[in-house]
Amino acid sequence: MSEKKLAIIATKGTLDWAYPPFILSSTAAALGYEVMIFFTFYGLQLLKKDLNLKVSPLGNPGMPMPMGMDKWFPVLGTAIPGMESMMTMMMKNTMKKKGVASIEDLRELCIEAEVKLVACQMTVDLFDMDHSDFLDGLDFVGAASFFEFAGDADITLYI
Amino acid sequence: MSDFDQELDARGLNCPLPILRAKKAINGLESGQVLRIIATDPGSVKDFEAFAKQTGNELMDSSESGGEFTFLMKKG
């Protein structure tokens, strides 16, 4: 069986958006794909040594809220200070209860499965980030490196 | 129920963990050996079919009883 290739660009740094790249990559690796994820802009948050990802109900009308809160909570209420932390905590608890893996675990599974995690150097410069805040052993690269891999990928996703 | 060489308890785990754990377990088997997987994720029924098709392992049996799904996967 010749090895298929999956290339993903991960651009978002919230808890909910952290799932698709890591779920798809770990699964693809288990199916025998060679996988690369190129993390850029807010996606770089997913490569920090200390993950502090949050989910926000603000501007996210599709997000189910616990206890039917979405039925009676005014849209502006989602901007109340503390709402983000509360929703993040509730989301993490729900995920744990439902047997959904944590992002830390999924990321570790990706690393074990030799998914290539590469970081956008331009973003690091742009936001004055420090290489030492990120996982050890990452490659910091540019767009050309993405295309070197994605150029003959079977599937390419922008997330 | 057919014989199996190793068992994987994937109960309570959600996508994609049952597949990932199964893959890991199969890696430790010899070709022709059988892994029995027990899961509670209803999505795993179609997913193990898809996994078998794409990895060259054989899904010998798939059954459901009392909300638990049991799969027999023979390493290819």
CATH of domain A5-158: 3.40.1260.10
> Chain A closest CA to B31's CA: distance in Å?
16
CB contact under 8 A, B41 and A32: no
- The order of strands in the sheet holding B58-65 is B6-10, B34-39, B68-74, B58-65
Max distance between CA atoms of chain B, in angstroms, equals 31
Is pLDDT larger for residue B24 or for residue A82?
A: B24
- Measured in whole angstroms, the distance separating CA B18 from the mean position of its chain's CA atoms is 8
Q: What is the pLDDT of residue B19?
A: 97
| Closest to A32 (Cα-Cα) out of A114, A98, A133 | A114
The CATH topology of domain B6-74 is Translation Initiation Factor IF3 (3.30.110)
Q: What Cα–Cα distance (Å) separates residue A35 from each residue in A8, A107, A158, B7?
A: 8, 13, 14, 29
CB within 8 Å of A52: residues ≥ 6 apart: A45
Chain A CB contacts of B20 below 8 Å = 26-27, 30, 109
Q: What's the pLDDT tens digit per position in A111-145?
A: 999 999 999 999 999 999 999 999 998 999 999 99
Calculate helix-pair angle for B17-27, B44-55, nearest 10 degrees. 40
Q: Where are the domains of chain A?
A: 5-158
Give the mean pLDDT of A96-117: 95
CB contact under 8 A, B55 and A31: yes
> Chain A closest CA to B11's CA: distance in Å?
9
Q: What's the pLDDT tens digit per position in B42-76?
A: 999 999 999 999 999 999 999 999 999 999 999 99
Q: Where are the domains of chain B?
A: 6-74
**Model ipTM value:** 0.87
Q: What is the pLDDT of residue A81?
A: 83
Residue A1 has pLDDT above 70, yes or no: no
Task: HSE, CB side, 13 Å, CA atoms: give it for residue B72.
Answer: 11
B56 in Cβ contact with A1 (< 8 Å) = yes
